[in-house]
């Protein structure tokens, strides 16, 4: 502005020739520098925009009772520089996903120097392309042509974008070795693990295949924690409704074997049972139905069966069974369900059904991920 004031209003030349010459020379040199940068720079590849949320918030499962001490040990281990791959293993529905969700939440609320925290839901028939797709969406690499590219091409794209980035990969529910190098991610090493991978699995063998630097077995809940969780789901009103029910309730809780899912589902199923006979019947069913299932999962499935049998009416059971026809870990939207049921002739119209159906689905939603 000061230099503009010095210009002659008639011809816009500087009133001071010496000053004008200096300004012109300075502008010329600056333009030369800009041109040099343009010629030397490689602008063929434009960096992808950084996502707004480096950690995606995930809803915490309905219980963290009894898992805090395990979580503390896992988190301390994860923060050690030489610990790059950490495995959480244990039988189904014992709380592994809950722990992984807590880790995700900890990164969300704790200052850290990671560029990305990536959550991938795996399954028994997991393909590497699924993992690549989840990563691509997280780092803003996913586009219309992504699905048409080969596994190797996707891997190369991920390598280019992640080579200078620090990341945490959270893999939930893997059944076999996941080759991170084929996915396009550098494999964390023991000496200096700037990147972290945490996964959950059923068997310790998978932790070995993944070359985990540390593995943690997620155990069942102890009696005190199990009873606290069961008592919370049943409710004090029911437990106080008859003098014989507290003792019967303790027996039912013991039959759940310290498994959080069994305690939650059976507890909710018994939350309306106010007579001793109903509780005695529940004990009989729990003890007699286990033989119908074989293997380590028998305790879980037999407890789910009683919870299913105790659902309020055939209509509610139908809602649950219909949801079980969707793929594993699929996001089910209530509005889409209602549209499907109308098209299939199960419902006539929206009016009068939406709120009732939503309430019912929320009631049985804790079953959906195991159907």
On whether the CB atoms of residues 186 and 195 are closer than 8 A, the answer is: yes
Instruction: Mark whether 144 and 228 lie in a shared domain.
Output: no
Q: Domain boundary residue among 217, 248, 275?
A: 217
Instruction: Mark whether 87 and 171 lie in a shared domain.
Output: yes
Per DSSP, the three-state class of 365 is: helix
Q: What is the pTM of this model?
A: 0.68
Tell me the Ramachandran region of residue 109: left when phi exceeds 0, alpha when psi lies from -120 to 50, beta otherwise: alpha
Per-residue pLDDT of the chain (371 residues; tens, 9 = 90+): 455 454 444 444 445 555 555 566 666 667 667 666 655 555 445 444 444 567 888 877 655 677 888 999 999 999 888 889 999 999 887 889 889 999 999 998 888 889 999 998 887 777 888 889 989 998 888 888 898 999 999 999 999 988 888 999 999 989 899 998 999 988 887 766 688 999 999 999 999 999 999 999 999 889 999 999 999 999 999 999 999 999 999 999 998 888 888 888 888 888 889 999 999 988 888 877 654 444 445 555 656 666 677 666 777 777 777 877 777 666 777 778 778 877 877 776 655 555 566 655 555 554 444 33
CA–CA separation, 165 and 325 (whole Å): 39
Burial of 77 (0-12, 13-18, 19+ CB in 10 A): middle
Is residue 28 one of the residues assigned to a domain?
A: no
Is residue 327 one of the residues assigned to a domain?
A: yes
Tell me how long the chain is: 371
Is residue 236 one of the residues assigned to a domain?
A: yes
Of 250, 248, 360, 258, which Cα lies nearest the Cα of 311? 360
Exposed e or buried b for every residue in 176-189, given b needs 16+ CB within 10 A?
Answer: eebebeebbbeebe
The CA angle 134-49-170, to the nearest 5 degrees, is: 30
Structural domain that includes position 350: 223-369
CATH number, domain with residue 79: 3.40.50.300
User: How many domains does the chain contain in total?
Assistant: 2
Is residue 203 one of the residues assigned to a domain?
A: yes
Q: Domain boundary residue among 217, 232, 247?
A: 217
Instruction: Mark whether 175 and 265 lie in a shared domain.
Output: no
Instruction: Mark whether 202 and 227 lie in a shared domain.
Output: no
CA–CA separation, 258 and 266 (whole Å): 12
Instruction: Mark whether 99 and 150 lie in a shared domain.
Output: yes
Instruction: Mark whether 180 and 244 lie in a shared domain.
Output: no
Q: Domain boundary residue among 217, 240, 267?
A: 217
Instruction: Mark whether 360 and 231 lie in a shared domain.
Output: yes
Instruction: Mark whether 207 and 313 lie in a shared domain.
Output: no
Is residue 14 one of the residues assigned to a domain?
A: no
CA–CA separation, 304 and 310 (whole Å): 10
Is residue 262 one of the residues assigned to a domain?
A: yes
Instruction: Mark whether 149 and 122 lie in a shared domain.
Output: yes
Instruction: Mark whether 354 and 264 lie in a shared domain.
Output: yes
Is residue 107 one of the residues assigned to a domain?
A: yes
Contacts of 225 (CB under 8 A, 6+ apart): 65, 66, 258
CA–CA separation, 227 and 133 (whole Å): 41
Instruction: Mark whether 286 and 361 lie in a shared domain.
Output: yes
DSSP string, 252-320: HHHHTTT-HHHHHHHHHHTTT--SHHHHHHHHHHHHHHGGGS-STTHHHHHHHHHHHHTSSSHHHHHHH
Instruction: Mark whether 231 and 354 lie in a shared domain.
Output: yes
């Amino acid at each position: 502005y000061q230099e503009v004031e010095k210009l002659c209003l008639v011809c816009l030349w500087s009133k001071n020739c010496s000053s004008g010459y200096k300004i012109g020379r300075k502008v010329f040199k600056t333009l030369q520098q800009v041109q040099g940068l343009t010629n030397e720079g490689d602008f063929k590849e434009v960096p992808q925009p950084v996502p707004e949320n480096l950690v995606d918030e995930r809803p915490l499962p309905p219980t963290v009772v009894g898992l805090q001490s395990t979580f503390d040990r896992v988190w301390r281990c994860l923060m050690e520089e030489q610990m790059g791959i950490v495995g959480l293993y244990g039988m189904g529905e014992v709380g592994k996903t809950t722990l992984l969700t807590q880790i995700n939440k900890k990164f969300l609320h704790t200052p850290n120097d990671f560029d990305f925290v990536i959550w991938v839901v795996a399954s028994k028939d997991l393909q590497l392309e699924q993992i690549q797709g989840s990563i691509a969406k997280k780092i803003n690499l996913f586009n219309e042509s992504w699905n048409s590219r080969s596994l190797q091409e996707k891997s190369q794209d991920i390598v280019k974008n992640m080579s200078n980035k620090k990341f945490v990969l959270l893999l939930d529910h893997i059944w076999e070795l996941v080759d991170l190098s084929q996915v396009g991610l550098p494999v964390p090493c023991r000496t200096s693990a700037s990147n972290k991978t945490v996964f959950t699995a059923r068997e310790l063998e998978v932790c070995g295949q993944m070359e985990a630097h540390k593995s943690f077995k997620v155990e069942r809940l102890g009696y005190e924690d199990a009873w606290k969780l069961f008592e919370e789901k049943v409710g004090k009103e029911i437990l106080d409704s008859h003098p014989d029910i507290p003792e019967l309730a303790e027996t039912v809780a013991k039959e759940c074997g310290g498994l959080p899912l069994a305690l939650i589902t059976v507890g909710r199923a018994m939350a309306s049972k106010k007579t001793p006979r109903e509780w005695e019947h529940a004990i009989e069913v729990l003890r007699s139905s286990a033989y119908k299932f074989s293997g380590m999962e028998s305790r879980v499935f037999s407890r789910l069966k009683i919870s299913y049998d105790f659902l309020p009416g055939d209509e509610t059971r139908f809602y649950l069974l219909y949801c079980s026809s969707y793929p594993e870990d699929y996001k089910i939207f209530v509005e889409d369900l209602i549209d499907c049921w109308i098209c299939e002739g199960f419902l006539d119209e929206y009016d009068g059904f939406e709120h009732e159906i939503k309430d019912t689905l929320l009631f049985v939603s804790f079953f959906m991920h195991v159907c």
